[in-house]
Structure 1
Amino acid sequence: MDFKSIALTTRPRLQACEDVCVLQVKGNKGEISPLDSRFGDRISQNLSLRPTAPHSTHSSTLPLPGKEPTFFTKCGGVLTDSGGTLSSPNHPDLYPPDSHCVWVIRVSPPFLVQIQVSSLAIEGPSPCLFDWLEVREETEKTSAVTRFCGNVPPPTLNTNSSTVLVSFHTDGNIGGNGFIAQYHSILPGQKSCSREEFMCDGGRCLLPISICDSHPNCQDHSDEVNCNQKHKECGGKITGEYGSLSSPNHPKPYPHQQLCTWQISVEDGQVVRLSFQNFSLETQDVCEFDYVEVYDSTDTVPNTVLGRYCGSALPPDLTSSGPVMTVVFVADDGVADSGFYASFKAISLSERTCSPTQFACGSGECLHQDWRCDGWNDCADGADKHDCINSTYPPFTSPCEPIRVEMCRGLSYNLTSFPNIWLTVSDQREAASILHKYRVLMELACFESFRRLVCGMFLPHCSPQSGVLQPCQSICSTAEQQCSHALNLINLNWPFNCHLLPDSQDPMECCLP
């Protein structure tokens, strides 16, 4: 069944944590001051790795609090040449679990250290609580830490220091191919970015996807200037009885960093029927990197989404409820495929029917008959659950089990179900292992609302009456409103996409943990 997914926002972009342990940033000048000591202590015990002495070029020993040192070969060291390369153990093969490596890069003043990560494949998600590559630069007045994970190399890092500490940390679970990076010594006036990157703030480099994304990333907002020329290759307004649209270059691979929006309009009294003939986007568990999203409205209002699609499966035919439909195509800077080709036609309201093997939701979306009365909420308006008393389809019978994860006890429900169909978590033990990582944030005043959200995602509500339910969008929005500022103070990104959750208060549609 093509379940509509929710997920951690793991978009593999630059992950920045300005000294997660004991620092916070004030104002625009990057002034540093201590955080609450209890939170700093707890975070430092879980996240911070500090070297106690320089290590040899071919081995490093990093004492952890309360643990004996662990020895690794070709991991860490002191680098004093004007340029060089460093990489994770075993690169390009999988890095080992429980690795702790520290490199000390020292160049002669007034030269500064520039770092370019050419390959990155480190377990996420944001905010990089599991495995990470971390760059710490020290100056007389400030200390700055930048943390990376995911699968897209970050932009060039122009530091303001002649001594930089680079640490690589992994936990005991999921691994990846790690990283390889090059460093160079440059004079302050030689700061540069790669050809496709954008420089601002006197040496800060941004990836192309961060330019003209409606979110200023530069202090002077220069990354949001002259944006009317971006994404000019696709999108636009389409009118008429019929027509077509496709990803740029189709059937050749589409370009990176695309944001295309088509608005399809037909005459009043008609609706839009959209059909996909070709469809091949980057394959992913959750459609958040490259995807097509279709809206039953004139703009991208979240509660009018007819569907979001990725991978190679052909999306179903979609029908609007009115004379306008909006189609959005998004592509990041990672894998590119051949894209899609779709056609549309205007049909009268009386013609808005589905095939004999399908039924229609109130939105006009056609779904397979097997999805009717199956216990799952497939139509936003609940049309798939109407007139189910005499249905030959069996009710939802997936077994519910008591919640055993300590962090998630005391919710509004005490039963859950596994495997988790939205986050591909196999059992409660796996969920507990993931949730344990979030306990490092428990000193935040907003942790209770954050706990309700993550528990609702990782241990979803289960009942014989309504099946397995996602958390309601309001739970996520409330947690984001209460917690995002606190997370921003320690430069952690909000890790969820609330718009992917059901926008409802109906206890049969979603859950209020």
Structure 2
Amino acid sequence: MRGAGAWAPLCLLLVAAAQHSRPQLSERPVFTCGGILTGESGFIGSEGFPGVYPPNSKCTWKITVPEGKVVVLNFRFIDLESDNLCRYDFVDVYNGHANGQRIGRFCGTFRPGALVSSSNKMMVQMVSDANTAGNGFMAMFSAAEPNERGDQYCGGLLERPSGSFKTPNWPDRDYPAGVTCVWHIVAPKNQLIELKFEKFDVERDNYCRYDYVAVFNGGEINDAERIGKYCGDSPPAPIVSERNELLIQFLSDLSLTADGFIGHYKFRPKKLPTTTALPVTTTFPATTSLKPTVALCQQKCRRSGTLESNYCSSNFVLAGTVITTIPRGGSLHATVSIINIYKEGNLAIQQAGKNMSAKVTVVCKQCPLLRRGLNYIIMGQVGEDGRGKIMPNSFIMMFKTKNQKLLDALKNKQC
């Protein structure tokens, strides 16, 4: 149940929206599922906002501002079912009205910064599934001059053979809080894109939860195509795209900021000798689902190698407390509350406040044996569903504070 205090800001937002959209009326605006909106500015909101949005719905808003201007979208409130990958309930924002580049996908209660289209058209789409719901969202759109968007806006389409991109205010002062920037780099079909960060300083966090840069193969923010997610003060290793498109997303939350970054890109032919290719930031392919077999589970329950030798060969490495264990068939499904994560890979991490957890499947439930309430170092592979897969020979050991130093050293090691 949501606290009564949460409604106060909603009331203020609704009054503002009512005054803005219907100055002659005192009643609140009625938000419906989707619509066509034109003009210099206006409001959109989830169906029935601020009431709980309906399940199993898909609503589309098409926004058009005057020719020659761009659309700026500011979320005033957002409360959708929270998920690390925004798989269930989410709001998508696109450039243009059809087949446009996706600027971002949002869920939970985090408000993104201002989102700016590259033309006078923007599309917003909200999708909900059959389960958990929230109060939805409300956002304001407005028209802005393309060349007078101010320091808080950034991003855009980059199609020249080489160029640079940087955080707002660089290099004079820190980047602002509450900013979302998306740079979409498009090379000719027969070329790839080399990317290098020259200077880099983004608020540090072990999981890059607050401020971060994410780089994606292709033209959409798609977790399966994510090359890496970066923060801190060490520039990411140089990156080479797999195809002729790259997407760079920068996001800052509403608290601490830092110097920011400047990066450079250039196009290059696809067929270069492999020895001259820049190193690609390491990502790990998702492993397929594994069903326990009698032969597999008759193996000796014995981890192989050492902490050091298994670190590089594992998709993910974490220290955590087992909080739930559920036997299913011959497997064990466990939830692990994370103490620290040393390598994330494609592991799906859930967040509730400051607490973070991940789900793992012990393919053979007795091997290795995970007991609820105990702390472990867990290394393993990641399945297509984002769960950790623990095999009989996976490296699992009890976690003790004395292991911390070695794990921190391994985290900084180049595999």
TM-score range, shorter chain: 0.3 to 0.5
Higher relative contact order, chain-length normalized (CA < 8 Å, sep 6+): 1
Instruction: Determine which structure has more spread, i.e. the larger CA radius of gyration.
Output: 1
Larger helix fraction of residues: 1
Length-normalised TM-score, structure 1: 0.37
